A and B are shown apart, each in its own frame.
Chain A
Amino acid sequence: MSETSLTSLGSNSSTIDARWRTYRVAAWLGWKVESNWADPLVFFIYAVMRPISTALVLLLMYVVIAGPQRGGFFDYIYISNALYLIAMQAIANMSWTILEDREHYRTLKYIYTAPISLYWYLIGRATARMLIGIMTCLFLLVVGSLLLGLHLSFGSVQWAWLAVYFPLGMIVLISFGIIIAGLALLVPRNGEFIGEILAGMLLLVCSVYFPPDILPSVLRKLSLAMPVTYWLEGMRRALTGGILQMDNGSGAISPILASYSNATLAMILLVSGILSATFAYFFYQTIERLAKARGMIDKTTGF
């Protein structure tokens, strides 16, 4: 290839069109990597089997204590668990994208040498994972409302708030995913644990299975510092049509979160989204430079 055409390729790669192309192809590649080992039916069963099992575990844990009726607390844990899948896919599993590309398929070095933006490539891969999470989440919500006693109906959904919370949450989640992917670039031997620890921490501090009110002071503060906590609360409200109440009618499940209005939740998410997206961008640029300097782009340690 001549020097002129290389220069022109380099300049094209910085345009919006080139970034969009990278994003689109990466999302498609991500979908293929996740799903092409099986036919669609087997993949669907695989994709829903794990979350359905977790939902059934939660259902039995709830029923064994609260009895056969389904109150507000069941809605709380069931919906949170369904939404947690999206967060898991976007954040926790992003470290796997780096590990797979660098160490399992050993393609990261080729992606780096291609005239594309790795940043947009990662966003594309995150999108593919999130789409799988969203589909599974929807499936869980439908199964929950049809078969498991979840109180959810089209009529009660606050669509306007849903349209606000959902995209803001996606920006936060993808930004966190990029930060985690950056960390995975720098971690040589323990990369696989990043996702697992993060998934556990999200479960513990983001009010997924229980409200932040019952946590010890330090964990409660941590929970209230996490944007995902507010995203889950906003989504629960938008999907059920209001603040979820305790089964015995003693008030809101989380008095702390109930004290935030919808507008406040949206504002927190908006600010978090802007801050996390900005931070993720600059953090990733810095990490990438460090990774190159330390020879981590093609390092193989786990496979």
Chain B
Amino acid sequence: MTKVSPLVLFLRTARARAAPRIWGMKREPSWVFLEVMVPIISTTAFVYLYRSLHAPQAYVGFVILGAVISAYWLNVVWAMAMQLHWEKKEGMLQLYVLSPAPLMAVLVGMSYGGIIMASSRAIVTLAAGLLLFQVQLSTAELPMVFLIFAVTLVALYGLGMTLSSLFIHWGREAWHLALAFHEPAFFLTGMNFPLSKLFSSVPGIIAFVSALLPISFGLDAMRQLLLPSNIPGVFSPGTELLILVGLGVMFLVLAYVALQRLEYKARVEATLSLRWQ
């Protein structure tokens, strides 16, 4: 057998786990179409809500950007946090553990594939939103927007990897917990309204939980840059970028530690191959 360096093995594993997510889109295009349609329909409802309140046009832009980023959040919840739980049910998790592939690389590959999947949905949602609702976005700070977006994704998928490790241990609860993460996250991250309004309206502990979700400051910073001088952010985009970098590092380290510990615990409790619980 050819000896492979750990780095090469890591990269190969990540690429292999990303592949079904990327090529799967080609094999089931109806899923891509439907995954794009669902958020556009609900986004349209929120746009009309703002319109019926006679809100400034910038708020429509808020909703569109919220819908774009929600594609990644839903991907993190359903295709990251839930994924190892699915894999366990399908009998795949035990094969991952038996193989020499590092589990962290599996998670990185899932993230990469997930970002590609979610991006298809996000891009169409953005394009449809801009075309249908005539939203004007500022392009003056695009490099900064892309930087914040990239750091937000790293932090967000780091959170997804951490949750994924936790979800190995849950059975039917995992499904309900994933469902339970939806709407509260939409509220806590200010997906359809300014985050500053949330921070000025709720107790400190809720604001703290909100700050821990990478979408909150990522979306707030991008809104400040793409829809400038409309609604104040919580902090300046630069400060929010620094917080996101901190969150990214924290979640990646947490994911690594959680994966090691929970995998060991699952081995001890013999639950890695338990498909129905």
Contact = CB atoms under 8 A, between A and B. Distances in A.
Interface stretch (B114-122, B138-146, B185-193): B185-193
B180 A203 contact: no
A64 B190 CA distance: 12
A190 B31 contact: yes
B34 A197 contact: yes
B235 interface: no
B57 interface: no
Nearest to B35: A193
Given A37-B172, A38-B173, A214-B48, A62 B53 contact: yes
A56 interface: yes
A200 B40 CA distance: 9
A77 B49 contact: yes
A39 to B, nearest CB: 11
Interface in B24-73: 28, 30-31, 34-35, 37-38, 41-42, 44-46, 48-55, 59
Interface in A269-303: 303
Interface in B1-40: 28, 30-31, 34-35, 37-38
Given A46-B180, A197-B37, A60 B45 contact: no
Contacts of A209: 45-46, 48-49, 52
A271 B133 CA distance: 37
Given A37-B176, A60-B201, A193-B38, A65 B50 contact: yes
Contact of B38 (A65, A73, A189, A196): A196
A211 B171 CA distance: 42
A25 interface: no
Interface SS of B by simple majority: helix
A60 B49 contact: no
Interface string A237-251: 000000000000000
A58 B176 CA distance: 23
Nearest to B53: A65
B198 interface: yes
Interface string A190-203: 10010011011101
B129 interface: no
Given A210-B48, A210-B52, A53 B172 contact: no
Nearest to A211: B52
B184 interface: yes
Interface SS of A by simple majority: helix
B176 A204 contact: no
A86 interface: no
B183 interface: yes
B176 A63 contact: no
Contact of B30 (A64, A189, A211): A189
Interface string A45-71: 010011101101110111111100000
A208 interface: yes
B132 to A, nearest CB: 10
Contact of A201 (B28, B41, B191, B193): B41
A133 to B, nearest CB: 15
A63 B200 CA distance: 12
A53 B31 CA distance: 28
Nearest to A35: B176
Contact of A53 (B59, B184, B197, B201): B184
Contacts of B37: 197
Nearest to B185: A53
A90 to B, nearest CB: 18
B183 A53 contact: yes
B66 to A, nearest CB: 10
Task: Name which of A46, A73, A204 has the most chain B CB atoms within 10 A of its CB.
Answer: A204
Nearest to A210: B52
Give the top 3 A-B pairs by smallest Cβ distance, nearest first. A200-B41, A53-B183, A210-B52
19 contacts: A37-B172, A37-B173, A38-B176, A53-B186, A57-B191, A57-B193, A58-B49, A60-B190, A60-B193, A65-B54, A73-B53, A196-B38, A197-B38, A209-B48, A209-B49, A210-B49, A210-B51, A214-B52, A215-B48
Interface of B: 28, 30-31, 34-35, 37-38, 41-42, 44-46, 48-55, 59, 89, 171-173, 176, 179-180, 182-184, 186-188, 190-194, 197-198, 201
Given A60-B193, A201-B41, 13 more contacts: A38-B173, A51-B183, A54-B186, A54-B187, A57-B193, A58-B49, A61-B49, A61-B192, A77-B49, A189-B28, A193-B38, A199-B42, A209-B48
